Structure 1
Amino acid sequence: MSQNPAHQAFARSDRSPFGVWWWTMDRWLLGAVAALLVLGVLMSFAASPAAAARMDLGDPFYFALRQCVFAAAGAAVLLGASLLDDRGVRRAAFFVYLAAILIMAALPFIGHSAKGATRWLELGGFTLQPSEFMKPALIVLVAWMFAEAQKGQGVPGVTIAFVLFGISVALLLIQPDVGQTILISIAFGAAFWMAGVPISWVMGLGVLSISGLASTYFLFPHVASRVDRFINP
């Protein structure tokens, strides 16, 4: 049975940006993200009074209101990004990655330090962590490069992907941020695996990753301290 066109916001023949978006978006995924946003806001209203009282803030819903602002901004960015076509996504990922990498490179000089790490940039009372923007942009770029390498047109996509990954890891370890390094390494490995590379390459990358993770115990005192406390509280 065909659906009644009157029940649809846009006709299937509508090739406008919003029409194409309506028929190509993953509505289940969009609904799940919206549910997470709403749940996060509700939980912030439950937790905000206790946190505000502990920090002697006058407004008990100070953190909840901040969360509302962040949720609205995140929803706007999400919907705007979902309207981009493939080329637009690649271009946006490139500029976001470039901007995030430049800021990460400048963090040792202009960044905000806390608990032995310099990962944040203070802007008008807000703290911004550029590595959070770098992560999704990096995955889009390396997936693009792996796809270009598979076309066999002479583009050194695999080499470029590894260079982008290496730059990101180096800047994360300078902060230092071992957790983020592990996350992007897992994501990079998954993209590498789905690119259809030989299993020997994947195994080699896995051995290298495990060796690098083990070396953090000897290179970073805070990692060694956390591991020691976990083994012997």
Structure 2
Amino acid sequence: MKLLRRIIQNLTAHLDMPLFLIVMALMTIGLATIYSATASDGFWKLDRQLVNIAASTAVMFAVARTPPQSLMRWAVPLYLLGLVLLIGVALFGIVVNGSRRWLSLGFVRIQPSEIMKIAMPLMLAWYFHKYESMLRAKHFAIASGILLLPIALILKQPDLGTSLLIGAAGFFVIFFAGLPWKVMFGLGAAAGAAMPFAWNMLHDYQRRRVLTLLDPSSDPLGAGYHIIQSTIAIGSGGGLGKGWLKGTQTHLEFIPEKHTDFIFAVFSEEWGLLGNGILLFLFTLLIGRGLMIAAAAPTLFSRLLASALTLVFFIYAFVNMGMVSGILPVVGVPLPFISYGGTALITLMLGIGILMSIHTHRMLVKK
């Protein structure tokens, strides 16, 4: 009995219990929704998601026990590894559905852009921590270069959704490091002026997604089909929803990608506005807890990293809900901790583990 108690104490010593309970609640909702979305296909996706949750939770436990100083030492090697793998994708990557995003290592196939979701904020937080006492304009310029290089490689694949998430993670670090407001306004003006050129650089399918956002009915059986069906499902849920396993849009196979990118439509149809309110409340608690951890972090590295990771969770949820609701273009971003999938879930739980590490090691860092 004492041995079991000691094992449990060792496992939970570096857990932030409020954060852990919030994430467990979200993943429980995810399992119930995946079961509903895939009920007609049997239980194999649910079983696989349980394996994904077990693996990602193990990663979270391991990272939570790792001191922030050790995470800092991994920043540069992980970023360089991610760059090398992205270059490898550009040269030797596997093409799937017209996109070159995967790299085969013989025994396993990986998506290197996922590494950058964690490597990017780690690298930039390390960089600003290193030059904390002497930050100048050139340091922000160099940081921008560190950010833009992998984004350019990912856009070439093309993968707009992942590049958006990595860009957001990097921007948040640069912003919280003290990027002047006048520079931000200047960059915003430059981005606005560059819009016509950026439009011409988009792939045809990306331009169709933007045009479809403005008028989904222009191609109801093609590019507009996803948005039309998802908004019908969300609206038909009403205030209280149709009930678990009773979503007609879901079970009559109208909703595309219903267990991954469009799982929010499944949840909304079955649980309605009330369920959406609970889901939004849980995400608000998650983001609030992450920002509290960031505010209490003792070093610049920890504060920048925790802030960036927390706001990336917000971007994940906002972009997914926005695209499913028809207010943002479809960019292929999963709903965090809810959507089916292993790679994204491991990345998210790795981020949760980093937040826990920063929180539970803060007194050791202060000493």
Is the shorter-chain TM-score for this pair beyond 0.5, marking a shared fold?
A: yes
Separation in 2, partners of 1:227, 1:135: 24
Q: Taking structure 1 as reference, are residues 179 and 74 closer, same or farther at Cα in structure 2, changes over 3 Å only?
A: same
Q: Which runs of 5+ in 2 are unaligned?
A: 219-367
CA distance in 1, matches of 2:134, 2:47: 51
Q: Which residue is 1:38 aligned to?
A: 28
Shift of 1:171: 0.9
- 1:224 maps to 2:207: yes
Contact 1:147 1:157 (C-alpha < 8 Å) held by counterparts: no
- Aligned residue pair count: 208
Secondary structure, aligned partner of 2:124? helix
| TM-score normalised over the length of structure 1 | 0.74
Q: Deviations over 1:72-91 (max 9, x none)?
A: 11111111111111121123
Partner in structure 2 of residue 64 of structure 1: 46
| Contact 1:97–1:138 (CA under 8 A) maintained in structure 2 | yes
Which structure 2 residues correspond to residues 83-102 of structure 1 after superposition, within 5 A? 83-102=65-84
Higher relative contact order (CA 8 A, sep 6+): 2
Gaps of 5+ in 1: 1-8, 11-16, 53-59
Is the 1:149–1:158 Cα contact (8 Å) retained in structure 2? no
Q: Specify whether residues 176 and 187 from structure 1 end up closer, same or farther in structure 2 by C-alpha distance, changes over 3 A only.
A: same
AA partner of residue 217 (structure 1):
W
Maintained 8 Å contact 2:15/2:64: yes
Deviation at 1:107, TM superposition (A): 1.4
Q: Is the 8 A contact 1:138 1:165 kept in 2?
A: yes
Task: Give % identity.
Answer: 27
Partner of 1:134: 116
1:202–1:148: structure 2 CA closer, same or farther, 3 Å change rule?
farther
What is the one-letter code of the residue matched to 1:227? V
1:138-180 deviation per Cα after TM superposition (whole angstroms, max 9, x unaligned) = 11211221222222299x7535422321211111111111222
Of 132, 141, 147, the match for 1:150: 132
Q: CA deviation at 1:230?
A: 2.3
CA deviation after TM superposition for structure 1 residue 27, in Å:
1.9
Alpha-carbon RMSD across the aligned residues, in angstroms, is 3.1
Alpha-carbon contact 1:216-1:223 (below 8 Å) kept: no
* Counterpart code for 1:189: F
- Map 1:1-233 to 2 at 5 A: 18=10, 22=13, 25-50=15-40, 52=41, 60-121=42-103, 128-152=110-134, 157-210=139-192, 215-219=197-201, 220-232=203-215, 233=218
Deviation at 1:101, TM superposition (A): 2.3
Aligned residues of 2:117 and 2:166 also touching (Cα < 8 A): yes
Residues 110 and 69 (structure 1 numbering): CA distance in 2 closer, same or farther, change over 3 Å? farther
- Give CA-to-partner distance per residue, 1:163-221, whole Å, 9 cap, x none: 32121111111111122222222332222221123222222333445556664421122
CA contact under 8 A between 1:189 and 1:202: conserved in structure 2? no
In structure 2, relative to structure 1, the CA distance for the partners of 1:100 and 1:231 (3 Å cut) is same
Counterpart secondary structure, 1:119: strand
More divergent stretch after superposition (33-42 vs 84-93): 33-42
Equivalent position amino acid for 2:21 in 1? G
Given that 2:124 and 2:170 are in contact with CA atoms closer than 8 Å, whether structure 1 keeps it comes out as yes
Distance 1:212 1:172 in 2: 20
Q: Distance in 1 between matches of 2:62 and 2:195?
A: 37
CA distance in 2, matches of 1:38, 1:95: 35
Distance in 2, Cα, partners of 1:87 & 1:213: 41
Give the whole-Å Cα distance in 1 for the aligned partners of 2:122 and 2:139: 13
1:120 to partner: Cα distance: 2.5
Q: Report deviation, 1:123.
A: 6.8
Q: Is the 8 A contact 2:35 2:46 kept in 1?
A: yes
Letter in 2 for 1:176: P
Q: Distance in 1 between matches of 2:111 and 2:63?
A: 20
- C-alpha separation between the residues in 2 aligned to 1:178 and 1:150? 32
Query: Is the contact between residue 185 and residue 209 of structure 1 (CA under 8 Å) also seen in structure 2?
Result: no
Q: CA deviation at 1:135?
A: 1.0
**One-letter code of the match for 1:231?**
L
